[in-house]
């Protein structure tokens, strides 16, 4: 998909690479990445790409149950370790979300892991 992302949030990394982030509005429109229900934009947690007290700019769409209104393992905010155990890694949903919206791929580290 070719698109122009001129007005979206971006960030320049220390190495000079510029990364573009989907907006919350774009992310929400996809529907929950687990069940497809109407979703809000979840800023991934515990993945180490932000300073103390800062929200990650990386997002994935989640419905209330899979976001913050369910039990442990069901809702990511009830404990992201249990949620990832149940559903998969947040970072992989970020990758799929970016793909679905036509955003450039994240750079990979030597192990082939996306650099957040």
By beta-carbon proximity to Zn ion, the closer residue of 5 and 65 is: 65
In degrees, rounded to 5, the angle at the alpha carbon of residue 73 between the alpha carbons of residues 68 and 75 is 10
Rule CB under 5 A: say whether 63 interacts with Zn ion.
yes
Residues in the interface with Zn ion (CB under 5 A) total: 7
Spatial distance between the Cα atoms of 9 and 76, rounded to a whole number of angstroms: 24
Per CB under 5 A, the segment of 13-21, 30-38, 83-91, 104-112 that binds Zn ion is 30-38
Rule CB under 5 A: say whether 66 interacts with Zn ion.
yes
Q: DSSP character for 68?
A: I
Burial readout 54-66 (b: 16 or more C-beta within 10 A, e: otherwise): eebbbbbbbbeeb
Binding mask 68-107 for Zn ion (x = CB under 5 A): ----------------------------------------
């Amino acid at each position: 998909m070719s698109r122009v992302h001129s007005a979206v949030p971006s960030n320049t990394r220390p190495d000079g690479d510029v990364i573009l982030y989907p907006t919350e509005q774009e992310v929400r429109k996809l529907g929950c990445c687990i069940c497809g229900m109407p979703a809000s934009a979840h800023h991934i947690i515990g993945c180490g790409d932000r300073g103390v007290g800062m929200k990650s700019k990386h997002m994935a769409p989640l419905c209330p149950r899979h976001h913050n209104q369910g039990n442990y393992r069901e809702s990511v905010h009830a404990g992201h370790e249990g949620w990832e155990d149940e559903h998969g890694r947040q970072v992989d949903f970020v990758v799929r979300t970016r793909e679905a919206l036509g955003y450039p791929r994240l750079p990979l580290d030597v192990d082939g892991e996306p650099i957040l």
